[in-house]
Amino acid sequence: MGKKGSSEQRDGGKRREESPRPDDDRKCRACRFPLLVALLQLLLGVAVTVVAFLMLAISPSLLARETPHWAGIILCLVAIVGFILYCVTYHPNERSTLQFIVKLLYFTLCVIGLVISTLVVAFAGYHHAQTSSLSCLPTAEACECTLDPRDPIARTFTYEGVDDCQDITETLSLYFLLQIVLNLAQAFVCAVAVFIMWKHRYQVFYCGLQIGSFQQWNKV
Amino acid at the residue 45:
G
d(CA 142, CA 161): 5
Q: In a structure prediction context, what are the per-residue pLDDT tens digits for the chain, which is 220 residues long? A: 555 555 555 555 544 444 445 444 444 444 456 788 899 999 999 999 999 999 988 888 888 888 999 999 999 999 999 998 888 866 665 567 888 888 889 999 999 999 999 999 999 999 998 888 888 888 877 888 888 777 777 778 888 888 788 888 888 989 999 999 999 999 999 999 888 888 776 555 343 444 444 444 444 4
Rounded alpha-carbon distances, angstroms, from residue 216 to 17, 18, 91, 219, 220: 12, 15, 28, 5, 6
Q: Report the run of H or E that residue 179 belongs to, with start and end.
A: helix 173-202
d(CA 51, CA 186): 14
Longest CA pairwise span in the chain (Å): 104
- Tell me the pTM: 0.72
Beta bridge partners of 160: 142
End-to-end Cα spacing for the chain:
30
Domain boundaries, the chain: 25-134+170-207
